[in-house]
Each structure stands twice: as structure tokens, then as C-alpha cells.
């Protein structure tokens, strides 16, 4: 008999997606951290979330990432914890954090690819999410 997959609350899984993206290049910038805070503060998906838990959840995610298989464990947790209707939301939130620096590192692109594969994001949806971020973060 297979052991059931460990899960976390859906809010935690969404935050894990953002935190892991930010940590992908081994440097969490102030812009990325501010973006995570802004997202949690303003988006309707976090309306019922206790914002006082944000730092603790980010630290929990960081602790998991420290393990040898940490990235795979976090991706598994995100996928197992989120209802399918939130898969696109998780991907969009990660893209939002990636765009916050106005430059996306190679490691961040790799994480986004792994996340969209794990969450089975439709290629057209992926393209729309990414295009939308490019348009919102365009500079003159």
C-alpha cells in the first residue's frame, strides 16, 4: 500500500512556489521579497490567509530546500497540496515574482519549467501568463 503524499495548506503551497522561485538563483532580492509580500497582501486568493504566518511558511520552505532532494520535495508538495484549479495560479504567482527584478535568471527559468511540468500547465496558458508578466513589467 502506498503511503499518502504529504501535503501543506493551499496558501502554504502557493507561497512555496513564490519563495522557491525567489531562492532558485541562490539570492532572494529585496524586490522579490517585497513582491511576495505585496501578492499575499493584495490578491483575493490570500484574502482568508493569516499574513502573520508568511515568514514562518517561507522559513519552512527554505528548510525543505536545504535537503539534497529539497527542490523535488517542494515541487511534490506544491503539486500534491493544490487543487487543480489553483495550478495556474501557482504558476502565475511564481512568474510574478520572477518578473519583479525585471530580469529573469537562468535558474529561475529552470524552476519555472519544472513547476509548469509538475503542475501540467497547458502551453497556451503558460504563454499567456508569461506574456502578461512581460507586458506588466515592461520599462520605457
Tell me if 3 is assigned to some domain.
no
Would residue 121 count as lying in a domain?
yes
Task: Return the C-alpha cell found at 39.
Answer: 501578492
User: Which residue shows C-alpha cell 512555496?
Assistant: 16
Buried-exposed string 54-73: b where 16+ CB fall within 10 A, e elsewhere: beebbebbbebbeeeebbee
For residue 35, the model assigns a pLDDT of: 92
Asked if residue 105 belongs to a domain, the reply is yes
pLDDT at 44: 97
Residue 140 forms part of a structural domain: no
What span, in angstroms and rounded, lies between the C-alpha atoms of 72 and 75? 5
Using CB atoms within 10 A of its CB, is residue 81 exposed (0-12), middle (13-18) or buried (19+)? buried
Contacts of 64 (CB under 8 A, 6+ apart): 16, 70, 73, 74, 77
Q: Is residue 1 part of a domain?
A: no
> What is the structure's pLDDT at 2?
52
**What DSSP string describes 91-115?**
HHHHHHHHHTTSS--HHHHHHHHHH
In total, how many domains does the chain have?
1
- Examine residue 71 and state whether it is found in any structural domain, yes or no: yes
Would residue 118 count as lying in a domain? Answer: yes
Global confidence as pTM: 0.92
CATH assignment at residue 44:
1.10.3680
Q: What is the pLDDT of residue 94?
A: 96
Give 42-64 pLDDT, tens digit per residue.
999 999 999 999 999 999 999 99
pLDDT at 114: 97
For 78-133, how does the pLDDT look when each residue is reduced to its tens digit (9 = 90+)?
999 999 999 999 999 999 999 988 888 899 999 999 999 999 999 999 999 999 99
- What pLDDT is attached to residue 29? 80
Residue 82 gets which letter from DSSP?
A: S
Domain that holds residue 23: 10-135
Q: Output the pLDDT for position 28.
A: 83
Amino acid at each position: 500500500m502506498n503511503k499518502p503524499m504529504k501535503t501543506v495548506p493551499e496558501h502554504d503551497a502557493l507561497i512555496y512556489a513564490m519563495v522557491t522561485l525567489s531562492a532558485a538563483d541562490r539570492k532572494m532580492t529585496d524586490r522579490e521579497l517585497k513582491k511576495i509580500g505585496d501578492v499575499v497582501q493584495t490578491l483575493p486568493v490570500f484574502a482568508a490567509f493569516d499574513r502573520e504566518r508568511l515568514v514562518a511558511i517561507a522559513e519552512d520552505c527554505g528548510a525543505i530546500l536545504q535537503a539534497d532532494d529539497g527542490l523535488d520535495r517542494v515541487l511534490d508538495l506544491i503539486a500534491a497540496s493544490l487543487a487543480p484549479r489553483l495550478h495556474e495560479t501557482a504558476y502565475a504567482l511564481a512568474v510574478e515574482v520572477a518578473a519583479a527584478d525585471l530580469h529573469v535568471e537562468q535558474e529561475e527559468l529552470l524552476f519555472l519549467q519544472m513547476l509548469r511540468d509538475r503542475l501540467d500547465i497547458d502551453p497556451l496558458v503558460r504563454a499567456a501568463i508569461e506574456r502578461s508578466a512581460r507586458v506588466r513589467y515592461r520599462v520605457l
